[in-house]
Structure 1
Amino acid sequence: MSRPSILSKFLFALFLSFFKVGCFTFGGGFAMIPVIQREVCENKCWMEQEEFIDMIAVTQSAPGPVAVNSSVFIGYKLAGIPGAVTALLGTVLPSFITILLFAIFIASQSGTQYMTKFFEGVRPAVVALILGAGLGMGKKSIKDPFSVILGLLAITALVLFKIHPIVLIISGAIAGIARSIILSKRNKEVS
C-alpha cells in the first residue's frame, strides 16, 4: 500500500472522528473537551491522557475556541498541516451546517413556547458536560499539595476576583517553573 493511500485513509478517519465530535456535542468548546478526550485518548488511542491535559492548557492559552484549537493541535501532531486542516474541518463543519439550519428555523420560530423550553433543557446539560470535563481533568492534574493549592488559588481568582483565564494560565506556568527551579536547587544542595 502506498504512503499517500495510508495518509488519505488516516486523514479520512481523523475527519470522521472530529466530525462525530462536532455533530454530537452541544454547548460549544468546553462541552466538546470530554468528547474529544474520549475519542482521541480512549477510542483511537492517538494521545495519552496526560498529553491531552497538557494540550488543553496550551490551546486554552491561544486565541480562539478551545475545541477548535484542540482539533488543530491534535491534527497537526498526528499528520502535520493536512491533519490540522482535516481535524479543523471535521470539527467546525457540523456546527456551521447546524447553525445555518438553526438560524433559518429559529428565525421562523423565535419566541415560541417550544423554543423557550428547548433552551431551558439544553442549558443544564451543557453545564453538566463542562463540569464533568473539569472534574475529569482535575483528577488527572491535581496530584500533590502544590497543585491543590494552585488549583484553589486559580478557582478563587477566577470566581471571586474575575481574573481573566489567560492571566491564570500564565501565572500557573510561572508558578510551575519557579517550583521546578526551587526543587532543582534544593536537590543539588542535598546531593
Structure 2
Amino acid sequence: MKKLLNLFWAFFKIGAFTFGGGYAMVPLIEKEIVEKQKWVDKDEFVDIIVLSQSFPGALAVNCSTMVGYKICGIVGAVVTLLAVVLPSFIIMLMVAMYLMKFRNNIYVNAAFKGINAAVPIMVLVAIVSLSKSLRKSTMTYIIMAAALIVLLFFDINPIWVIIASALFGVVYYGRGEEE
C-alpha cells in the first residue's frame, strides 16, 4: 500500500507542477522516477519515453501508466494514471468555475506569460537529457537531421516521421548494421 501511495504522490506532483504538457514534463518525470525514487534506470526511462510517444494519448499519461504497471502491475497503472490527470482535472474545473471572475486579472495574465516563457526551456532540457542516452553513430545523426528538416520545413505530421523512422530502424538496424 505504501508503494502505491508513493506512486500516487510522485505522479500527482508531476501532474500538478508541470505546465506545457508532453516534453515539458520529461525532466520532472525523469528526476522523480530515475533519480529520486530509482524505480527505473536511465535506459529504461528512455525506452518508456519512446514507447509513450509512440502510443496515442498524452505523453505523461502513457509514461505514468507504464511506470505504474512496471512497479505495481494493473493497480499501479491505474493509480499513476489517476494521479497524473487528477491535478489537471481539478485545475480545469476551478478555471471553468472562476474563469470569468479572473479573466482580465493582470497578475493571472502575468503568471501565465512567465510560465509560457519557461516551457520551451523545459522542452530543451528534455531533449538534451534524452539525447545523452542515445547511441551516437553517423546513422543516428542522419536520422535526427532528416527528422528535424522534415518537421521544420515541410507540412508533415510528426506521426509519419515516427513511423518512417521506425521502419527505417527495422530495415537498417534489423540487419545488424549498427555503427
Calculate the TM-score normalised by the size of structure 1.
0.86
Contact 1:57-1:169 at 8 Å conserved across structures: no
Instruction: Tell me what 2:171 maps to.
Output: 178
Alignment of 1:98-117 (within 5 A): 98-117=91-110
Instruction: Tell me what 1:54 maps to.
Output: 47
1:170 is paired with a residue whose SS is: helix
Report runs of 4+ in structure 1 exceeding 4 Å deviation. Answer: none
Instruction: Tell me what 2:157 maps to.
Output: 164
- Please, which of 116, 126, 146 is the counterpart of residue 123 of structure 1? 116
- Tell me how far apart the structure 2 counterparts of residues 135 and 163 of structure 1 sit (CA, whole Å): 24
Report the residue type matching 1:96 in the other structure.
F
Query: Could you tell me how far 1:37 is from its partner in structure 2?
Result: 1.0
- Tell me how far apart the structure 1 counterparts of residues 95 and 112 of structure 2 sit (CA, whole Å): 13
1:63 is paired with a residue whose SS is: coil
Instruction: Tell me what 2:36 maps to.
Output: 43
Query: Could you tell me how far 1:15 is from its partner in structure 2?
Result: 0.7
Instruction: Tell me what 2:134 maps to.
Output: 141
- Tell me how far apart the structure 2 counterparts of residues 109 and 142 of structure 1 sit (CA, whole Å): 49
Q: Is 1:150 matched with 2:140? A: no
- Tell me how far apart the structure 2 counterparts of residues 142 and 98 of structure 1 sit (CA, whole Å): 39
RMSD: 1.7
Q: Is 1:80 matched with 2:73? A: yes
- Tell me how far apart the structure 1 counterparts of residues 174 and 91 of structure 2 sit (CA, whole Å): 49
Q: Which 5+ residue runs of structure 1 have no aligned equivalent?
A: 1-7, 187-191
Query: Could you tell me how far 1:82 is from its partner in structure 2?
Result: 0.1
Contact 1:61-1:169 at 8 Å conserved across structures: yes
Report the residue type matching 2:151 in the other structure.
L
Contact 1:72-1:87 at 8 Å conserved across structures: yes
Report the residue type matching 2:9 in the other structure.
L
- Tell me how far apart the structure 2 counterparts of residues 107 and 27 of structure 1 sit (CA, whole Å): 23
Report the residue type matching 1:104 in the other structure.
M
Report the residue type matching 1:84 in the other structure.
A
- Tell me how far apart the structure 2 counterparts of residues 182 and 130 of structure 1 sit (CA, whole Å): 33
Q: Which 5+ residue runs of structure 2 have no aligned equivalent?
A: none
Query: Which one has a bigger Cα radius of gyration?
Result: 1
Instruction: Tell me what 1:91 maps to.
Output: 84
Contact 1:142-1:148 at 8 Å conserved across structures: no
- Tell me how far apart the structure 1 counterparts of residues 20 and 32 of structure 2 sit (CA, whole Å): 17
Query: Could you tell me how far 1:142 is from its partner in structure 2?
Result: 5.1
Report the residue type matching 1:15 in the other structure.
F
1:126 is paired with a residue whose SS is: helix
Instruction: Tell me what 2:57 maps to.
Output: 64
Report the residue type matching 2:163 in the other structure.
I
